[in-house]
A = this chain, B = another copy of it.
Amino acid sequence: MDCPLPISRYDKIVMGHGSGGTLSAALLRQVFLPAFSNDLLAKLEDQASVTVDATRIAFTIDSFVVRPLFFPGGDIGKLAIHGTVNDLAVGGATPKFIAGAFILEEGFPIADLDRIVASMKAACAEAGVQLVTGDTKVVERGKGDGVYITTAGIGVLRPGAALSVHAVKPGDRILVSGTLGDHGIAIMSTREGIEFETKLESDTAPLHGLAAAVMDAAPGLRCMRDPTRGGLSSTLNEIAAASKVGIEIAESALPIRPQVKAACEMLGLDPLYVANEGKLVAVVPADQADRALAAMKAHPRGRDAALIGKAVPEYPGMVVMTSKIGGSRVVTMLAGEQLPRIC
């Protein structure tokens, strides 16, 4: 990844360091990677693949600080389970076990905690995972924001699975499993008090089933990612940088709901940068693209799947979008903060 805004310009944390874009990447490269240098961390996948004895397992962690805690289509608890399940699933692993840690603010209503925990329970059941260990801490009023949840997860890697954002080759096709930006716009609309004629909900959902279907259909699958914080643009830029390929996408091919488009215009947002919490980006060899797309469309969570572009040998590390009117523009990574605390 490029770091166009070097961290040295900042001596204090700014909200943009949490954006999932270039500032987040800069913080990672300048502070965390040099310290914890090891091959596993340096791969920058959404999960680490480790071998314990002879078993290959995937291991991941994410903190969730979304606000509001409850939003159309979900809540922080559901998001925390789905996020961790999905980080395992996109790595080619079957999610198995979850650990959950809660940082509670003094004064937080226990009734709200009950709702969140019930939601996590249902999400675990749907994803076929067990929450097996946990922790709770309490901080004083004004030192938190209700509840922050951190979930870690373990999954079993499929035999032979070696998905990697470094594995993409020119000619490969880029698929997305459905409409873009639903989660981010559902959250922002709630915060801004925007109402739609038709209900817009977060797309938060577990992707293990869809991911398995894609793996079955396309044995040559290069990599999968869930385009969460930072949106599709961050995911594609990460793939382009890691695999040293260019990526071309067609604006006309992007599945976006009309109300998301409208809200983006109203809020001055670009749907390419808006978070998704139940969508899969998959990169497959060209000759397996049709089968992979068909497998997505046949799955309940992939009905709006689309082929949106391809990897090219030109301009390695860059993402270029051809617009509906024929022009083209570089899709850079989100620099700072567009939507803070979206997950």
Contacts and interface: CB of A to CB of B under 8 A. Distances in A.
Nearest to A135: B62
Interface stretch (A113-121, A190-198, A251-259): A113-121
Contacts of A15: 106, 138, 140
Given A12-B108, A110-B11, A132 B18 contact: no
Interface string A87-124: 00000000011011111111111110110011011001
Contact of A53 (B65, B113, B136, B156): B156
A117 B35 contact: yes
A131 B31 CA distance: 14
A148 interface: yes
A114 B11 CA distance: 11
A97 B27 contact: no
Contacts of A61: 99-101, 133-135, 150, 152
Interface stretch (A44-52, A208-216, A260-268, A317-325): A44-52
A145 B145 contact: no
A87 to B, nearest CB: 9
A65 B110 contact: no
Contact of A145 (B13, B52, B139, B152): B139
A222 to B, nearest CB: 20
A273 interface: no
A132 B54 contact: no
A149 B119 CA distance: 24
A148 to B, nearest CB: 6
B50 A52 contact: no
A57 interface: yes
A117 B28 CA distance: 11
B31 A114 contact: yes
A138 B52 contact: no
Contact of A60 (B40, B105, B133): B133
A245 interface: no
A65 B103 contact: yes
Nearest to A64: B137
A50 B110 contact: no
A256 to B, nearest CB: 26
29 contacts: A11-B111, A15-B106, A15-B138, A17-B136, A18-B104, A18-B137, A18-B138, A18-B139, A31-B114, A36-B117, A36-B120, A36-B121, A36-B124, A41-B132, A50-B96, A50-B154, A52-B57, A52-B154, A53-B54, A54-B54, A57-B154, A59-B99, A59-B152, A61-B135, A61-B150, A65-B137, A101-B150, A148-B148, A152-B152
Given A41-B132, A103-B103, A135-B150, 9 more contacts: A13-B107, A13-B138, A35-B121, A41-B130, A52-B52, A59-B154, A61-B150, A63-B103, A144-B144
